Amino acid sequence: MAETLQFKTELKQLLQLIIHSLYSHKDIFLRELISNASDAVDRVRFQSLTDGSVVEGDSNWKIKLIPDAANRTLTIRDNGVGMSRETIVEHLGTIARSGTREFLDSLKAADAKERPEMIGQFGVGFYASFMVADKVTVVSRMAGKPEDGVRWESAGQGDFTIEPCEKAARGTDITLHLREDCAEYLDSFTLRTLIKKYSDFVEHPIVLDVEKDGTTSEETLNARKAIWLRPRHEITEDEHAAFYKHLAHDTNNPLRTIHYKAEGNIEFKALLYIPGHKPFDLMFGESKKGLHLYIQRVFILDDCETLLPKYLRFVRGVVDSPDLPLNVSRELLQQSAPLEKIKSNLTTKVLATLEELKQKDIEKYTSFYREMGVYLREGAYQDYENKKKLADLLLFESTKTDAGKYTTLADYVDRMPGEQTEIYYLGGDGREMLEQSPLLESFKAKGWEVLLLIDPSDEFVIGSLHAYNEKVLKPIDQVASDSSGVSDEAKVRYQPLCAYLKEKLPEIAEARLTNRLKDSAVCLVAGEHAMTASMERMMRRFRQDGEMPESKRVLEVNPEHPLVQAVQALLAKDRGDARLEVAARLLYDQAVILEGSKMKEPLSFAKRLNEMLLRETQRG
List of residues contacting ligand ADP (CB under 6 A): 32, 36-37, 40, 78, 80-81, 83, 91-92, 123-126, 172
- List, as one string, the DSSP characters of 410-424: HHHHHH--TT--SEE
Question: Between residues 125 and 379, which has the closer beta carbon with respect to ligand ADP?
Answer: 125
Query: Which of ligand ADP, Mg ion, none does 517 bind, CB closer than 5 to 8 A by kind?
Result: none
Smallest CA-to-CA distance from 585 within 604, 568, 572, 569 is with 604
Which residue minimizes CB distance to ligand ADP? 123
Minimum Å gap between C-beta 128 and Mg ion is 9
The reply to whether 171 sits near Mg ion by the rule CB under 5 A is no
The reply to whether 321 sits near Mg ion by the rule CB under 5 A is no
Q: How far apart are CA 603 and CA 584, in angstroms?
A: 16
Query: Which of Mg ion, ligand ADP, none does 450 bind, CB closer than 5 to 8 A by kind?
Result: none
SS3 94: coil
* Residues between 2 and 41 with contacts to Mg ion, criterion CB under 5 A: 36
Question: Between residues 92 and 524, which has the closer beta carbon with respect to ligand ADP?
Answer: 92
Query: Which of Mg ion, ligand ADP, none does 284 bind, CB closer than 5 to 8 A by kind?
Result: none
The reply to whether 287 sits near Mg ion by the rule CB under 5 A is no
Query: Which of Mg ion, ligand ADP, none does 40 bind, CB closer than 5 to 8 A by kind?
Result: ligand ADP
Indicate the pairing of strand 423-427 with strand 508-513.
unpaired
The reply to whether 116 sits near Mg ion by the rule CB under 5 A is no
Smallest CA-to-CA distance from 351 within 359, 488, 614 is with 359
**φ, ψ at 303 (rounded to 5°):** -70, 140
Question: Between residues 129 and 399, which has the closer beta carbon with respect to Mg ion?
Answer: 129
Indicate the pairing of strand 206-212 with strand 63-68.
parallel
Minimum Å gap between C-beta 61 and ligand ADP is 13
CB atoms within 10 A of CB 464: 15
Query: Which of ligand ADP, Mg ion, none does 37 bind, CB closer than 5 to 8 A by kind?
Result: ligand ADP
Cβ atoms of residues 346 and 340 within 8 Å: no
Query: Which of ligand ADP, Mg ion, none does 83 bind, CB closer than 5 to 8 A by kind?
Result: ligand ADP
Minimum Å gap between C-beta 63 and ligand ADP is 9
Beginning with the edge strand found earlier in the chain, give each strand of the sheet holding 63-68 in spatial order.
3-6, 159-164, 150-154, 133-141, 171-178, 73-78, 63-68, 206-212, 215-220
| Beta-bridge mates of residue 67 | 74
Distances in Å between the Cα of 173 and the Cα atoms of 36, 74, 88, 204, 222 are: 11, 10, 13, 16, 20
Minimum Å gap between C-beta 173 and ligand ADP is 9
Choose which of 82, 116, 125, 373 interacts with Mg ion (CB under 5 A).
125
Question: Between residues 82 and 379, which has the closer beta carbon with respect to Mg ion?
Answer: 82
Q: How far apart are CA 220 and CA 302, in angstroms?
A: 26
Interface map 36-65 toward Mg ion (x if CB under 5 A): x-----------------------------
Q: How far apart are CA 290 and CA 332, in angstroms?
A: 18
Query: Which of Mg ion, ligand ADP, none does 175 bind, CB closer than 5 to 8 A by kind?
Result: none
Q: What are the residues whose beta carbons fall under 8 Å from the beta carbon of 20, sequence distance 6 or more?
A: none
| Footprint on this chain of Mg ion (rule: CB under 5 A) | 36, 125
